Amino acid sequence: MRKTQRLLMTGAAGTIGQQIREGLADYAKTVRLSDVADLGEPGAHEEIVTCDLTDADAVRETVKGCDAILHFGGISTENRADLIHPVNIDGTYHLYEAARKEGARRILFASSNHVIGFHSRETRLTASSPIRPDSNYGVSKAYGEALASMYWDKYGIETLILRIGSCFPEPKDRRMMATWMSSADMLRLIGVMLEVPRLGCPIVYGVSDNEESWWDNSETAYLGWKPRDSSARFAHLFADDPAQDPDDPEVIYQGGKFAKAGHFED
């Protein structure tokens, strides 16, 4: 695979960033990592940048010289809207403006299943399904998806909109048997996103080839990404859990705890 010259990953200190950081070396000559948190020492092929997404100028500086961007930065769980908006909304806007001005043409936008979290588990979703966000967080990701769509239609900047399920080393609860995505599948998807001749602006559900499946990626099969891992090998972790109530909102809705929770207040 042809290597990207310089690949930027925002939010590199986060849960996903930590899992995939090492693997990115395969895809780019230089990997630029940014976060507000500490990123440790740079590896041989790495550059480290401290960048607050709410600072438009800093974002532009961070983007400068990069061919492609993995935008994992931002708040990635439910919180107060006045904390989420500056980072996930204004910050994402700054990132796309920086890409437009600096000529970065290909972006992975880390969206979330919480954009569609109020669909019931029985509802099979595709890239065309209506959104039903389940939280302030989910609404902020819906903004990012809309923004990516506009930058594609208007400026030709390609985005892989990735509605990530649960990207952890292993599933943390019974629900994640359906939503789990391995970091290896994430890396393979990043490879595809960088290499495919035409990316466009597809919506992809970020999930491994689990047995329980809520999401159908067939509309975006042109990308050539087929997950190879499965949560099946973790089934034993939940074998002794008590049975769940099928009428519990946490069980009814795809968003799980996010859909069940009341309003977030500090």
198-227 residues near a copy of itself, rule: CB under 8 A: 198-200, 202, 210-214, 216, 218-226
- Residue from 16, 31, 66, 89 touching a copy of itself (CB under 8 A): that is 89
- Minimum distance, C-beta of residue 18 to a copy of itself, in the bound complex (Å): 28
From 19-27, 71-79, 87-95, 164-172, give the range in contact with a copy of itself by CB under 8 A: 87-95
Gap between the Cα atoms of 103 and 68, Å rounded: 9
142 three-class SS? helix
Which of residues 7, 147, 160, 164 is near a copy of itself by CB under 8 A? 147
d(CA 113, CA 134) in angstroms, rounded, equals 9
Nearest to 231 by CA among 187, 178, 186: 178
232 to 251, contacts with a copy of itself by CB under 8 A? 239-244, 246-247, 251
Binders of a copy of itself among residues 97 to 136 (CB under 8 A) are 97, 100, 115, 118, 120-122, 124, 128, 130-136
Contacts of 83 (CB under 8 A, 6+ apart): 75
Nearer to a copy of itself, 49 or 192 (CB): 192
Residue 104 phi, psi dihedral angles, 5° rounding: -75, 130
Query: CB-wise, 33 or 140, nearer to a copy of itself?
Result: 140
| Paired tokens of 220 | 């975006």
| Alpha-carbon span 257 to 165, nearest angstrom | 13
* CB of 212 vs a copy of itself, minimal distance in Å: 4
Name residues contacting a copy of itself, limited to 160-179 (CB under 8 A).
174-175, 177-178
Cα separation, 108 vs 69, in Å, equals 6
Q: Which of 96, 108, 98, 102 is nearest to 195 (CA)?
A: 108
- Quote the least distance from Cβ 93 to a copy of itself, whole Å: 5
Question: Would you call 222 a catalytic residue per the annotation?
Answer: no
The two three-digit tokens of residue 171, written as one number: 């599933």
Nearer to a copy of itself, 41 or 82 (CB): 82
Helix (H, G, I), strand (E, B) or coil at 215: strand
Options 137, 151, 205, 253, the catalytic residue: 137
Judged by beta carbon, residue 21 or residue 132, the one nearer a copy of itself is: 132
CB 24 within 8 A of CB 68: no
Catalytic residues: 137
